[in-house]
Structure 1
Amino acid sequence: MNKHFEPSELVGTPVAQVGISRPHESAHLHVSGRAYYTDDIPESEGTLHVALGLSPIPHGRLKSIDIEALRAIPGVVAVLTAADIPGVNDCGPVVHDDPIFAKDTVQYVGQPVFAVVATNRLIARRAAAKASKVLDIEPLEAVLDPREAVSRQSFILPPMHLTRGNPAEAMATAEHRLKGTLSLGGQEQFYLEGQIAYATPADDGGVKIQCSTQHPSEMQLMASHALGVPANRVHVECRRMGGGFGGKESQSGLHVCVVAMAAAKLNRPVKLRLDRDDDFMITGRRHGFEYDYEVGFDATGLIIAADLTMISNCGFSTDLSGPVMTRAICHFDNAYWLPNVAIRGYTAKTNTQSNTAFRGFGGPQGAFAIEAILDRVAGALNLDPVTVRHTNFYGRRQNNVTPYGQVIVDNVIHELTGELLRTSGYWARREAIERFNASSPVLKKGINIGPCKFGISFNLTHLNQAGALVHVYTDGSIIVNHGGTEMGQGLNTKVAQVVAEELGVRFERVRSTATDTQKIANTSATAASTGADLNGKAAQDAARQIRRRLEAFASQIYGGEPEDVVLSGGRVQVNGTNLSFEELVAKAYVSRIQLWSDGFYATPEIHWDRETMSGNPFYYYAYGAAISEVMIDTLTGEWRLVRADVLHDAGRSLNPALDVGQVEGGFVQSMGWVTSEELVWHPKNGKLLTHAPSTYKIPTANDVPAEFTTRLFKNENVKDSIFKSKAVGEPPMLLGFSVWLAVRDAVRAAGGPGSDPVLDAPCTPEAILMAVQSVKKPAAVA
């Protein structure tokens, strides 16, 4: 008996390892402070520290750098510039337009121009802070506003277009029409652990990099290109991150390249950890969007035609702006049938930080537009917003084809929203709120619903693949390694549950190890909500191969057929013989049976033509809805979330506790984005003014309502996903829109029937106060 295994394993009781709630595999380490993050790795003797020298202006011609003045500072070991890069001066993930160090031109306030390597971090930072004194930059005109960029034809990529039906003709004949503009701000990832990388020289010109990244393979390639060496000389490892949210998918690359170059040049370990202000100033965030739209509809609120122009603020380089806009276009429909639609997407180039991936990857920006439009339609017709949304939902057997041509075969939005309306008591609360508002001249309540249909898969088809390794040791303990990264979402826990289920052992036998490019090669980023889908399937493939070998071996030595062998509860039952899992493993080892295996998975049935903007880009859809109730003060613009009810479709959940946590986290993060998280750049010098917790407000525990009910919708995936589960990382980002919509409902109540609030997002108290003034104007319905 192995004392490390649960006693219940020894009695052979079948115990399911998936579909049950269990704690995050590192929860005990997180709460005790014993979880190792990159900054906790013990520094090797002689470790040097790096800080980045940043451009003080948004656009200019770089004439010179006074490197000698920096080198003369005591403690400074080296100063690196673009001229010191042995390979390629680029860390762009798709298009090679993102320099590691500015060479001839600086393009935003905060762009790295040089790196100071010093004996300690404080010296490096103090030297780097002299950037404004040592840089000679000739100022050039800067473009800071995305609408201005479009007027100047300043684009990152060619415009994108998607059209279905005849929207112009349908619009002209529609009974009612509305036009409008809308602005949706960006969002800072605000991960708890900032950007950090630690590089150590290795044999034969190689380098080992430990870093906080969602994409180790891309970091490996970026570093190899910067060093001018093959990828096999670069080893990248990531055990866990203190949050990522997309901000560590591509933008960890610059920091990885800098430490790799410094370590290779100086043959010493080198570490770079940004402080919060520099992290804000250097890295990009969620793309802010501008919208121009026109919608035609009938007296019931049914959308006849929609015309939409979306402008994304990309910043100075491409980064991931292409797929972000593509996903925005593919999510404008959200949960609604749009028979005639024209969508144009413009990727505006501005002299600001290069914006990047963020939870939802453009999907929320697309869905936000249709939710705002439908809310205006409901107000213009004096109909309840729930009724108008229900009128426009995709049908079950007809009106179920998206504008990009994918047939929806898993639609549960009708059942899901119906259940949520019942359990939340929506209609009774709507009546109560109307009575409250009629008797309350200053405080106004609002309630609204935010539905969700979110496509799951990477836009770029070839990224939908994953690999894994499973090792069974002779004592029956198990290791699993896969290409996904753990950033607190519980991916390692879910993958370990999958392996335990496949091998018929308890979860405690399985341990997940650090993501490592020397174990799993050519991995995709842990993004697009595909972490458990891809890596879970790959690990299942590997574990299943081992199980089949053990079944064949057991039947060989004990008789019977392999398919009759049962591995369950840590026991093996075969032809009347009952033995422990570790006993079978030990016998298999002596008989030279392979006890490890690699696994691979590629998502089937998906394809995408980016020229025609059509295809099946998503393997399936995740659905959800939230109902939020708010109260606003019409004299100050202050607001409070009174109650939130959330129902989300996670399919046959692998781990309900983890999934509920992801749904709640996504809802709150989304709520922060559309209410309090305001980004402000100085209109003249281009500096980001909201670059610290003191000026940028994310939600806190105090913003979560006392009544917050989150449940998982009983459903199972119609597709062959991992144990019929559904992804849950990004879809909940649409649910927080219900808070913004509820605020809009409360503002509308301040103006009475027919009010049409002018309210952008985020709806800060200032914005709410101005919106209250705007409701004095009647809605403009053609």
Structure 2
Amino acid sequence: MRKLIEAQAQPALFKPGVGHSVAHESACKHVSGSAQYIDDLPLLPGLVHVATGQSIHPHARIILLDIRAVRAAPGVVDVIVQRDIPGEVDVGPVYGGDPLLAGDLVEYIGQPLFAVAATSLEAAQRAVKLARVEYDILPAQLTVEDALAARSFVLPEHQLLMGDPDSEIDKAPHRLQGEIYVRGQEHFYLEGQISQAQLTEDGGIHVISSSQHPSEIQKLVAEVLDLPLHLVVAEVRRMGGGFGGKESQAAPLACMAAIFAKRLQRPVRYRMPRRDDMVQTGKRHDFLNRWRVGFDSDGHILGVDMLLAGKCGYSPDLSEGIVDRAMFHADNAYFLRSARILGVRCKTHTVSNTAFRGFGGPKGMMAIESLIEDIARHLGKDPLDVRKLNLYRPGADETPYGQKIEQHVLQDLIARLELDSDYRVRREQVTRFNQTHRYLKKGLALTPVKFGISFTAKHLNQAGALLQIYTDGSLMINQGGTEMGQGLYTKIQQIVASAFGVSVERVIVSATRTDKVPNTSPTAASSGTDLNGMAAKDACDRIKADLIGFACEHFQLSTEQIVFANNRVQLGRESMSFPDFIKLAYLNRIPLLATGYYRTPKIFYNRDTAKGQPFLYFANGAAVSEVTLDTRTGEYQVNRTDILHDVGKSLNPAIDIGQIEGGFVQGMGWLTSEELLWDDKGRIISNSPANYKIPTAFDVPADLRVALYHEPNLENTIHLSKAVGEPPLMLGIAVWAALRDACSSTSGYRFSPRLDTPATPERVYWALQECAAFNACQAQEVDRA
């Protein structure tokens, strides 16, 4: 505390850039309430608000849609149906299948049928209830099992194949099979889906959106309005959370607002109330994972055959890449000598599921982690020992999709965490505790994470930036990444400050806009800093090269004699302040603006052969979690979690640790408390904060320890750092594994019960009952013997 007080008392002189724990650029604005989100913007004169009328059936043909009473409702300014859309009707991000408004067919409960613009949101919401709709109800597929039985898929299946898994499984000394159902997850961002649109004087549209993908907003708005792209500007300053939910599914709101703005010549705001958001927007995919595995008596995996079936909803959305990602991560940290991994994309008459932090990776990892634990219990081993035995290592380093692991950190990282967390001592303590307590049981688990970094769609692995230096020595950088609280703007600020040796407050990152940097990729796939940071650095390097060339000529110096540091420019034995040097450069007509560009090298993937290198590198981590559960009720607490995570050379340790903590807690919520449920009519039950439970401060482990694993990236990433957005989410698997470990302890660790996720107290209780049934069966066998 004394050090903190002393640091605060010192005058603010030079705030360093890369490698330092600089505060988030909007931290003060966040806590003071001055950070502006879209719904905080002043209401423009004539602004109207939007609501939509929704289908009440999951699959039906519309026989009658009577909206006369809607048009006559108080406050209503305009009503549109599908035929009123001036351009493209479909707003699917990759493939078709996502009409902005339904035509004759509806395919999920909540699908928009028509849209209303009114003088207030309340008036719009009241009006949509006045429509008269008649339906011809059609059969609906509501579950993964329904889709598998009907062989109904939104896209063709895809398979990874390595070796001859059937033969290896058949001749293996031991064989097991199993399955786990892994439910999805609601994004539950603090700021819901929202967009605002207004006309520009040249007949174009300016859209302000809470979106992770401004260029997609620009493209789809242009298409629905039948405008060229240069007449549409999409802008994003910040989001109140995204987590993937605003990668593709922010676009319909922007398109709807833009249509009304064009029709009415008035500004339009479309904000979804929380319940509409939870009904009408997609979630993380449910997955049904099935496997067969053959292994030896030590626990080496010899062959594995997996089916990963994703619940995609009614349309493809981003499901191709999501299920691919699940397949690419079905190995997690383990070398599979011989494997078949089949991914299927199941069509159901439910809302179209979409990106969520980790994309499909977490779902694939749950398959292999379940399988590993089953092997361990079958052989009477500690699951950690089976995990360590199967880790990637030199000589056992090829993935099922043909990519070689180049940087081997997993063995050392896990060994270090095992030692630092006192895993072996605590394992003995947990065993003794369980032997001496009748109703309370403890569980302990250490699980690894290996996560590939890059978009699996190759063309998205590119970024641009625009840097401007003003004559007072201040700098403005614009780039294609969006800020959703994760600290991207702060890291870009640090990268630019470091390039010129100036304090970070000299640099401002302006709102992401498509008229500044075009054709941007979404801020997703953990690539925001990797891509945009390198583009920003490229812009810096271009200006800096011109400045150094000028200084060499003007001061008759060599390049080695020119150093940018501490807000000054060292010029041989003399030095100038950075602003004075920039002013001198301007007077000598040296360009003080530049664009930067970056594209990820090395990556490729051949879908026909299912082989390639889809990732530039891998980020790694591991977590140890300890839990205590009550066998009478299934209730539990997470007592302690230790995390060691690989971030390369950290750009900002404080922000990285915050991302790791937040990712872990969100992953823990996905696997324990956040239960997505639909009724047998296809209506979502978990549609509000009252019946969908995200983790609270009381759920966070009382003892949470996070450390960074310091080893520079072998790849030439931005300052040799590694991405930290998505990989930490999968550290939460340790909590699920610890709960399963506690359940298994009731069988003397001889049996591994099924524990579908989320592992709510009810599901934990059912797993305990399964263990009790196993014990009874074993007792009967002893009696018969």
The interval holding the TM-score normalised by the smaller chain is over 0.9
Counterpart residue identity of residue 487, structure 2:
G
Paired residue for 1:295? 293
Instruction: Please give the alpha-carbon distance, in whole angstroms, between the structure 2 residues aligned to 1:48 and 1:8.
Output: 48
Instruction: Please give the alpha-carbon distance, in whole angstroms, between the structure 1 residues aligned to 2:591 and 2:232.
Output: 30
Structure 1 residues 114-125: aligned runs within 5 Å = 114-125=114-125
Deviation at residue 705 of structure 1 after TM alignment? 1.3
Identity %: 48
Counterpart residue identity of residue 41, structure 1:
L
Tell me, yes or no, if structure 1 residue 203 matches structure 2 residue 201: yes
Paired residue for 1:526? 523
Does the residue aligned with 1:203 lie in a helix, a strand or coil? Answer: coil
TM-score, normalisation: structure 1:
0.97
Spell out, residue by residue over 1:361-404, the C-alpha distance to the aligned partner (whole angstroms, 9 max, x if none): 10111111101110111111110011000000011x20111110
Tell me, yes or no, if structure 1 residue 717 matches structure 2 residue 713: yes
Does the residue aligned with 1:158 lie in a helix, a strand or coil? Answer: strand
Instruction: Please give the alpha-carbon distance, in whole angstroms, between the structure 1 residues aligned to 2:722 and 2:338.
Output: 30
Counterpart residue identity of residue 666, structure 1:
G
Paired residue for 2:452? 455
Structure 1 residues 317-356: aligned runs within 5 Å = 317-356=315-354
Counterpart residue identity of residue 62, structure 2:
L
Counterpart residue identity of residue 117, structure 1:
A
Instruction: Please give the alpha-carbon distance, in whole angstroms, between the structure 2 residues aligned to 1:418 and 1:22.
Output: 31
- Given that 1:331 and 1:454 are in contact with CA atoms closer than 8 Å, whether structure 2 keeps it comes out as yes
Paired residue for 2:73? 73
Paired residue for 2:655? 658
Counterpart residue identity of residue 124, structure 1:
A
Instruction: Please give the alpha-carbon distance, in whole angstroms, between the structure 1 residues aligned to 2:410 and 2:720.
Output: 18
Spell out, residue by residue over 1:204-249, the C-alpha distance to the aligned partner (whole angstroms, 9 max, x if none): 3211000100000001001111011111111110100000000000
Paired residue for 2:667? 670
Does the residue aligned with 2:134 lie in a helix, a strand or coil? Answer: strand
- Given that 2:48 and 2:267 are in contact with CA atoms closer than 8 Å, whether structure 1 keeps it comes out as yes
Deviation at residue 563 of structure 1 after TM alignment? 3.6
- Given that 2:290 and 2:367 are in contact with CA atoms closer than 8 Å, whether structure 1 keeps it comes out as no
Which stretch of structure 1 is more off in the superposition, 313-322 or 146-155? 146-155
Instruction: Please give the alpha-carbon distance, in whole angstroms, between the structure 2 residues aligned to 1:7 and 1:678.
Output: 47
Paired residue for 1:109? 109
Tell me, yes or no, if structure 1 residue 311 matches structure 2 residue 314: no
Does the residue aligned with 1:552 lie in a helix, a strand or coil? Answer: helix
Tell me, yes or no, if structure 1 residue 218 matches structure 2 residue 213: no
Paired residue for 2:685? 689
- Given that 2:85 and 2:225 are in contact with CA atoms closer than 8 Å, whether structure 1 keeps it comes out as yes
Does the residue aligned with 2:45 lie in a helix, a strand or coil? Answer: coil
Q: Which of residues 599, 604, 611 in structure 1 aligns to 2:608?
A: 611
Counterpart residue identity of residue 53, structure 1:
G
Spell out, residue by residue over 1:664-702, the C-alpha distance to the aligned partner (whole angstroms, 9 max, x if none): 11100000001111111011x211000100000000110
Paired residue for 2:781? none
Tell me, yes or no, if structure 1 residue 434 matches structure 2 residue 434: no
Which stretch of structure 1 is more off in the superposition, 88-97 or 719-728? 88-97
Q: Which of residues 553, 556, 559 in structure 2 aligns to 1:556?
A: 553
Structure 1 residues 129-528: aligned runs within 5 Å = 129-130=129-130, 133-395=131-393, 397-528=394-525
Instruction: Please give the alpha-carbon distance, in whole angstroms, between the structure 1 residues aligned to 2:656 and 2:340.
Output: 35
Paired residue for 1:12? none
Instruction: Please give the alpha-carbon distance, in whole angstroms, between the structure 2 residues aligned to 1:613 and 1:678.
Output: 34
Paired residue for 1:774? 770
Instruction: Please give the alpha-carbon distance, in whole angstroms, between the structure 1 residues aligned to 2:654 and 2:577.
Output: 30
Does the residue aligned with 2:154 lie in a helix, a strand or coil? Answer: coil
Spell out, residue by residue over 1:485-539, the C-alpha distance to the aligned partner (whole angstroms, 9 max, x if none): 0000000000010000001111110001100000000000000000000000000
Paired residue for 2:7? none
Instruction: Please give the alpha-carbon distance, in whole angstroms, between the structure 2 residues aligned to 1:681 and 1:297.
Output: 38
Does the residue aligned with 1:604 lie in a helix, a strand or coil? Answer: coil
Instruction: Please give the alpha-carbon distance, in whole angstroms, between the structure 1 residues aligned to 2:98 and 2:457.
Output: 20
Which stretch of structure 1 is more off in the superposition, 551-560 or 524-533? 551-560
Which stretch of structure 1 is more off in the superposition, 63-72 or 653-662? 63-72
Does the residue aligned with 2:290 lie in a helix, a strand or coil? Answer: strand
Instruction: Please give the alpha-carbon distance, in whole angstroms, between the structure 2 residues aligned to 1:169 and 1:603.
Output: 38
Instruction: Please give the alpha-carbon distance, in whole angstroms, between the structure 2 residues aligned to 1:612 and 1:392.
Output: 26
Paired residue for 1:751? 747
- The gaps in structure 2 that reach 5 residues or longer are 1-10, 779-785
Following TM superposition, where does structure 1 have runs of at least 4 consecutive aligned residues deviating by more than 2 angstroms?
A: 6-9, 776-781
Counterpart residue identity of residue 725, structure 1:
S
Instruction: Please give the alpha-carbon distance, in whole angstroms, between the structure 2 residues aligned to 1:753 and 1:74.
Output: 66
Counterpart residue identity of residue 244, structure 2:
G
Counterpart residue identity of residue 742, structure 1:
A
Deviation at residue 7 of structure 1 after TM alignment? 6.7
Instruction: Please give the alpha-carbon distance, in whole angstroms, between the structure 2 residues aligned to 1:346 and 1:147.
Output: 12
Instruction: Please give the alpha-carbon distance, in whole angstroms, between the structure 2 residues aligned to 1:598 and 1:239.
Output: 20
Does the residue aligned with 1:481 lie in a helix, a strand or coil? Answer: strand
Deviation at residue 129 of structure 1 after TM alignment? 3.1
Structure 1 residues 33-48: aligned runs within 5 Å = 33-48=33-48
Counterpart residue identity of residue 774, structure 1:
E
Q: Which of residues 623, 634, 638 in structure 1 aligns to 2:635?
A: 638
Deviation at residue 777 of structure 1 after TM alignment? 4.4
Deviation at residue 776 of structure 1 after TM alignment? 2.9
Instruction: Please give the alpha-carbon distance, in whole angstroms, between the structure 2 residues aligned to 1:758 and 1:414.
Output: 28
TM-score, normalisation: structure 2:
0.97
Paired residue for 1:647? 644
Instruction: Please give the alpha-carbon distance, in whole angstroms, between the structure 1 residues aligned to 2:688 and 2:418.
Output: 39
Deviation at residue 753 of structure 1 after TM alignment? 3.2
Structure 1 residues 560-571: aligned runs within 5 Å = 560-571=557-568
Counterpart residue identity of residue 313, structure 2:
G
Paired residue for 1:98? 98
Counterpart residue identity of residue 654, structure 2:
A
Q: Alignment length, in residue pairs?
A: 768
Instruction: Please give the alpha-carbon distance, in whole angstroms, between the structure 2 residues aligned to 1:213 and 1:191.
Output: 12
Instruction: Please give the alpha-carbon distance, in whole angstroms, between the structure 2 residues aligned to 1:63 and 1:259.
Output: 27
Spell out, residue by residue over 1:56-114, the C-alpha distance to the aligned partner (whole angstroms, 9 max, x if none): 11110012211211001111111111011000111100101110000010100011111
Deviation at residue 778 of structure 1 after TM alignment? 4.4
Paired residue for 1:89? 89
Counterpart residue identity of residue 114, structure 1:
F
Instruction: Please give the alpha-carbon distance, in whole angstroms, between the structure 2 residues aligned to 1:37 and 1:411.
Output: 43
- Given that 1:503 and 1:544 are in contact with CA atoms closer than 8 Å, whether structure 2 keeps it comes out as no
- Given that 1:653 and 1:659 are in contact with CA atoms closer than 8 Å, whether structure 2 keeps it comes out as yes
Deviation at residue 562 of structure 1 after TM alignment? 2.5
- Given that 2:373 and 2:752 are in contact with CA atoms closer than 8 Å, whether structure 1 keeps it comes out as no
Instruction: Please give the alpha-carbon distance, in whole angstroms, between the structure 1 residues aligned to 2:272 and 2:146.
Output: 32
Counterpart residue identity of residue 99, structure 2:
P
Spell out, residue by residue over 1:273-321, the C-alpha distance to the aligned partner (whole angstroms, 9 max, x if none): 0111000000001011001111111111110110101110000000000
- Given that 1:21 and 1:656 are in contact with CA atoms closer than 8 Å, whether structure 2 keeps it comes out as yes
Instruction: Please give the alpha-carbon distance, in whole angstroms, between the structure 2 residues aligned to 1:334 and 1:666.
Output: 17
Instruction: Please give the alpha-carbon distance, in whole angstroms, between the structure 2 residues aligned to 1:368 and 1:315.
Output: 21
- Given that 1:436 and 1:445 are in contact with CA atoms closer than 8 Å, whether structure 2 keeps it comes out as yes
Spell out, residue by residue over 1:565-601, the C-alpha distance to the aligned partner (whole angstroms, 9 max, x if none): 1011111111222110100100111111101111000
Deviation at residue 260 of structure 1 after TM alignment? 0.5
Instruction: Please give the alpha-carbon distance, in whole angstroms, between the structure 1 residues aligned to 2:129 and 2:562.
Output: 67
- Given that 2:182 and 2:286 are in contact with CA atoms closer than 8 Å, whether structure 1 keeps it comes out as yes
Does the residue aligned with 1:735 lie in a helix, a strand or coil? Answer: helix
Deviation at residue 16 of structure 1 after TM alignment? 4.5
- Given that 1:8 and 1:569 are in contact with CA atoms closer than 8 Å, whether structure 2 keeps it comes out as no
- Given that 2:284 and 2:354 are in contact with CA atoms closer than 8 Å, whether structure 1 keeps it comes out as yes
Instruction: Please give the alpha-carbon distance, in whole angstroms, between the structure 2 residues aligned to 1:198 and 1:563.
Output: 51
Counterpart residue identity of residue 717, structure 2:
S
Spell out, residue by residue over 1:410-438, the C-alpha distance to the aligned partner (whole angstroms, 9 max, x if none): 12000100110111110000000000000
